[in-house]
Amino acid sequence: MRILITGGAGFIGSHLCDYFLARGDEVIAMDNFITGSPDNIAHLKDHPRFTFIRQDVTEYLRIEGYLDAVLHFASPASPVSYMAYPIQTLKVGALGTHKALGLARAKGARFLLASTSEVYGDPLVHPQREDYWGNVNPIGPRGVYDEAKRFAEAITLAYHRAHNVDTRIARIFNTYGPRNALDDGRVVPNLIGQALRGEPLTVHGDGSQTRSFCYVSDLVEGIARLLASNEVMPVNLGNPNEMTIRAFAEKINALTGNKAGIVYVPRPVDDPSRRCPDISKAKRILGWEPKVSLDEGLEKTIAYFARKIKRSVRQ
Ligand code: UDP
């Protein structure tokens, strides 16, 4: 297959590049490095089946030759980064999705949208199933991401219905692993970075809010299966192992041997109180469920951040 991955230098995008290249496909990655990083794809520079285009996906997309698939992963995705780039986040979810769909339509390519559990907002239904419409504050600080992704889902299905584009929608829940940006404020890199520097871990609020964490290799396998499936309606992809943020912080301190403890700091506005995917649809349709345990995934992630921090101290 010949695949375009927007956001190809991002955390998940770069792992998708690796996955499809290892499978024998040709990959074109596009990124403007707002939150993606050249480091994430540096190892692919000389790969014969890899091309990189530095471009903002909200501008007109010109790709020579055919495409089998367009995977639209470009977007700031952590609360800290989408609040730092609110206009860019709205633009890439709206205008960028429109451009990527237009390109898929012109090429007769399959289109896969990276959507998010944030479409459920601060959910009133638990765990979240795909038929739940969500509880989103459109005008709060997170609205820039949540509404952009809700629009992105709407325009994806409009292209499917009006133009017969072959579309897929993945609703991605919290995902972690190597190449998470250390400074993007997400709880996994943030707490691991603090622990490795021997600092107290910043837990927002009383830490009773919950999340469930999916290791990136599991997520990438789910994306590949969804792309290969016939399912047009959204599919949740995430790990259903739910835990409180306080318990998560205690785990990070235990795994790293950090003795500095936890500090409780104010909770961000509209921070969802509970989040956990119902993945029965993915199990049924894709035969997919996460395989990597939290301990195993965290061990790999901690080792990655330890190398990264050591390297930056040396420089
Ligand atoms: N969080 C925290 N300490 C941090 C960063 C995040 O307690 O240093 C909390 C945050 O308030 C949220 C959860 O951890 O309840 C997950 O936050 P993240 O930024 O990873 O993404 P979200 O799941 O909110 O999109």
CA distances from 136 to 95, 123, 145, 311 (A): 21, 8, 10, 40
Cβ atoms of residues 4 and 103 within 8 Å: yes
- Angle, helices 187-196/294-314, rounded to nearest 10 degrees: 60
Domain boundaries, the chain: 2-176+215-237, 187-210+241-275+293-314
* Ligand 1 midpoint to CA 179 (Å): 17
Q: Which protein residue has the closest C-alpha to ligand 1 atom 6?
A: 187
Tell me the CATH architecture of domain 187-210+241-275+293-314: Alpha-Beta Complex (3.90)
Residue 6 buriedness (CB in 10 A; 0-12 / 13-18 / 19+) = buried
Residues contacting residue 96 through CB under 8 Å, at least 6 positions apart? 6, 56, 57, 58, 72, 74, 75
Return the active site residues: 145
User: Whose CA is closest to atom 14 on ligand 1?
Assistant: 187
The ligand 1 atom at the shortest distance from the C-alpha of residue 174 is 23
Query: pTM for this one?
Result: 0.97
Which ligand 1 atom sits nearest the alpha carbon of residue 267? 11
Neighbours of 270 (CB within 10 A): 16
- Give the pLDDT band (50/70/90) at residue 156: very high
Indicate which atom in ligand 1 lies nearest the CA of residue 79.
19
Is residue 315 predicted with pLDDT exceeding 80?
Answer: no
Bridge partner residues of 244 (DSSP)? 210
DSSP 259-306: -S-EEEEPPPTT--S---B--HHHHHHH-----S-HHHHHHHHHHHHH
**Residue whose CA is at the smallest distance from ligand 1 atom 3:** 203
| pLDDT score, position 313 | 80
* Residues with a CB atom less than 6 Å from ligand 1: 78-79, 174, 185-187, 190-191, 202-204, 209, 211, 245, 267-268, 271
Q: Which of 76, 103, 72 is nearest to 89 (CA)?
A: 76
What topology does CATH give the domain 2-176+215-237?
Rossmann fold (3.40.50)
What confidence tens digit (pLDDT) does each residue in 161-205 have? Answer: 999 999 999 999 999 999 999 999 999 999 999 999 999 999 999
| Gap from CA of 83 to ligand 1 centroid (Å) | 13
DSSP state of 76: -
CA of 207 to the centre of ligand 1 (A): 9
Residue identifier of the C-alpha nearest atom 1 of ligand 1: 187
Residue of 149, 180, 187 with the most ligand 1 atoms within 8 Å of its CB, for mutation: 187
Tens-digit pLDDT profile for residues 244-261: 999 999 999 999 999 999
Residue 270 contacts residue 142 (beta carbons within 8 Å): yes
